[in-house]
Amino acid sequence: GMDPHEMLVLPARVGDVPAGSLLVANGGIPTQPETGRAKRALDRMDASLVALDGTTGRVLGQWRLSDPRLSIRHLAWDPVSERVGIALQAEHDDAQARQTAPVLAVWDGRGLQAAREQPALVGYGGDICARPGGGFLVSCTRAHHLAWFDARGVWQRSEPLQEACALGNTANGWWAAGRAGALSNTTSDPLGLPAGVRLDNHWLVVGPSAGATHSL
């Protein structure tokens, strides 16, 4: 696929895709090696989610959203619903279309479902993690919010966090980082960071109690 962005090892069987398969998020954005990540010819975007056999590399399936200008970026496994959440980034030419574009899609082994009942969140999902009890949390970096969705992709609520991006989780908790600090469902001051420290865009929770998350 075009513009592979992230890969996830599937922990359990989903539909016809067996456990141990590799899920690849293809951002679908045409670029030129000479210009680094500079985008070009966005009318040729081809974002997709691909499942590969973890041993042979054989393609097991490929799924696309109906809107070709939604870039498929980051992946998160929800062990409760046994679905995969996908953070999306809109690449529409029209500013209004970008503003109102969904920031999440959900994969259930059969197809991709874009977020429903979502308010305008500037069409930019910076990161994603599963929520304890099921569902997904998406950092909406350009909207300066965290967005809560259920496991079907239905929007539930949001909370302000300036330049929200990095997300990490365990089976019992989540952590979110923004420009001026961090939030968590376990404590109001999860990191105790020194003043002026800026956190990077993606996290991975490590340790014996860590649940399944995405890569750095």
How far apart (Å, rounded) are the C-alpha atoms in residues 80 and 77?
9
* Residue 191 counted as domain residue: no
Count up the domains in the chain and report the number.
1
* Residue 192 counted as domain residue: no
Q: Which two tokens stand for residue 82?
A: 């046994």
Q: How far is CA 8 from CA 4, 36, 117, 198, in A?
A: 12, 24, 27, 27
Task: Output the pLDDT for position 213.
Answer: 40
How far apart (Å, rounded) are the C-alpha atoms in residues 35 and 32?
6
Tens place of pLDDT for every residue, the chain, 216 residues? Answer: 888 999 999 999 999 999 999 999 999 887 776 666 667 677 788 999 999 999 999 999 999 999 999 999 999 999 999 999 999 999 999 999 999 999 999 999 999 999 999 999 999 999 999 999 999 999 999 999 999 999 999 999 999 999 999 998 888 889 898 887 778 887 655 566 666 666 778 877 776 544 444 333
SS3 for the chain is CCCEEEEEECCCCECCECCCCEEEEECCCCECHHHCCCECCHHHCCCEEEEECCCCCCEEEEECCCCCCEEEEEEEEECCCCEEEEEEEECCCCHHHHHHCCCEEEECCCCEEECECCCCCCCECCEEEECCCCCEEEEECCCCEEEEECCCCEEEEEEECCCCCCEEECCCCEEEECCCCEEECCCCCCCCCCCCCCCCCCCCCCCCCCCCCCCC
* Residue 214 counted as domain residue: no
pTM across the whole model: 0.88
- 167-169/155-160 β-pairing: unpaired
How far apart (Å, rounded) are the C-alpha atoms in residues 87 and 70?
10
Task: Output the pLDDT for position 17.
Answer: 97
How far apart (Å, rounded) are the C-alpha atoms in residues 157 and 140?
12
* Residue 98 counted as domain residue: yes
* Residue 194 counted as domain residue: no
* Residue 196 counted as domain residue: no
What is the span of the domain harbouring residue 128? Answer: 4-184
Task: Output the pLDDT for position 152.
Answer: 97
Angle formed at CA 170 by CA 126 and CA 28, multiple of 5 degrees: 30
Radius of gyration of the chain (CA): 17
The CATH number of residue 134's host domain is: 2.130.10.10
Task: Output the pLDDT for position 208.
Answer: 52
* Residue 197 counted as domain residue: no
Contact 51, 22 (CB under 8 A): yes
* Residue 48 counted as domain residue: yes
Q: Which two tokens stand for residue 112?
A: 């991709």
